[in-house]
Amino acid sequence: MIANYRRPLLCAFLTLAIAASVLASCAQAGPFSVYLTYPGDPSTTITVNFQTSKQDRETEVYIDTVPRRGHKEAYARRVEGASTSIPGLPVPRTIHYATLDGLTADTTYFFIAGNDSAGFSREQSFRTIPAGDGPLRFVAGGDMDATRLTRKLLKVAARQNPQFAIVGGDIAYANGDVKNYRKWDRWFANWDRYMRTSEGHRVPIVAAIGNHETNKAESEEYAERAPFYHAYFGRQADATYFDRTFGSLLALVVLDSGHIATHDGEQKTWLAEALARHVDVPYRFAVYHVPLYPSHRDFDGELSASGRTHWGPLFDEHRLTTAFENHDHTLKRTKLIKNNEVSPEGTLYLGDGSWGVKPREVDKDRRWYEEFAAGKGHVWIVDVSAQGVTYRALGVRGKVLDSAETPAPSRP
Ligand SMILES: [Fe+2]
For the chain, give every domain's residue range: 32-127, 136-407
The Å distance, Cα 186 to ligand 1 centre, comes to 19
The Å distance, Cα 146 to ligand 1 centre, comes to 15
What CATH topology corresponds to 136-407? Answer: Purple Acid Phosphatase; chain A, domain 2 (3.60.21)
Neighbours of 43 (CB within 10 A): 21
pLDDT tens per residue, range 323-380: 999 999 999 999 999 999 999 999 999 999 999 999 999 999 999 999 999 999 999 9
The Å distance, Cα 169 to ligand 1 centre, comes to 7
The Å distance, Cα 117 to ligand 1 centre, comes to 39
Of 353, 355, 331, whose CA–CA distance to 150 is shortest? 355
HSE value, Cβ hemisphere, 13 Å, CA-based, for 287: 28
Question: What is the distance between the alpha carbons of residues 76 and 237, in angstroms, rounded to a whole number?
Answer: 28
The Å distance, Cα 62 to ligand 1 centre, comes to 37
The Å distance, Cα 209 to ligand 1 centre, comes to 9
Q: Is the pLDDT of residue 197 over 70?
A: yes
Instruction: Enumerate residues with CB within 5 Å of ligand 1 (an ion).
Output: 170, 210-211, 327
User: Which tops the pLDDT comparison, 409 or 175?
Assistant: 175
HSE value, Cβ hemisphere, 13 Å, CA-based, for 280: 2
pLDDT tens per residue, range 38-47: 999 999 999 9
If you average pLDDT over every residue of the chain, what do you get? 94
Q: Are 62 and 77 in contact (CB under 8 A)?
A: yes
The Å distance, Cα 257 to ligand 1 centre, comes to 10
Q: What is the pLDDT of residue 307?
A: 98
The Å distance, Cα 282 to ligand 1 centre, comes to 30
The Å distance, Cα 267 to ligand 1 centre, comes to 19
Burial class (CB in 10 A: 0-12, 13-18, 19+), 359: buried
The Å distance, Cα 211 to ligand 1 centre, comes to 5
Confidence category of residue 20, pLDDT binned at 50, 70, 90? very low
The Å distance, Cα 144 to ligand 1 centre, comes to 10
Q: What is the pLDDT of residue 7?
A: 53
The Å distance, Cα 172 to ligand 1 centre, comes to 11
The Å distance, Cα 126 to ligand 1 centre, comes to 30
* Strand pairing category for 348-351 and 322-324: parallel
Q: Is 379 helix (H, G, I), strand (E, B) or coil?
A: strand
Confidence category of residue 21, pLDDT binned at 50, 70, 90? very low
The Å distance, Cα 69 to ligand 1 centre, comes to 41
The Å distance, Cα 170 to ligand 1 centre, comes to 5
R_g over Cα of the chain: 22
The Å distance, Cα 320 to ligand 1 centre, comes to 23
Q: What is the pLDDT of residue 220?
A: 85
The Å distance, Cα 218 to ligand 1 centre, comes to 20
Confidence category of residue 117, pLDDT binned at 50, 70, 90? very high
pLDDT tens per residue, range 136-183: 999 999 999 999 999 999 999 999 999 999 999 999 999 999 999 999
Q: Which CATH class is domain 32-127?
A: mainly beta
Q: What is the pLDDT of residue 108?
A: 98
Separation of first and last alpha carbons in the chain = 90
Kindly report the pTM of this predicted structure.
Answer: 0.93
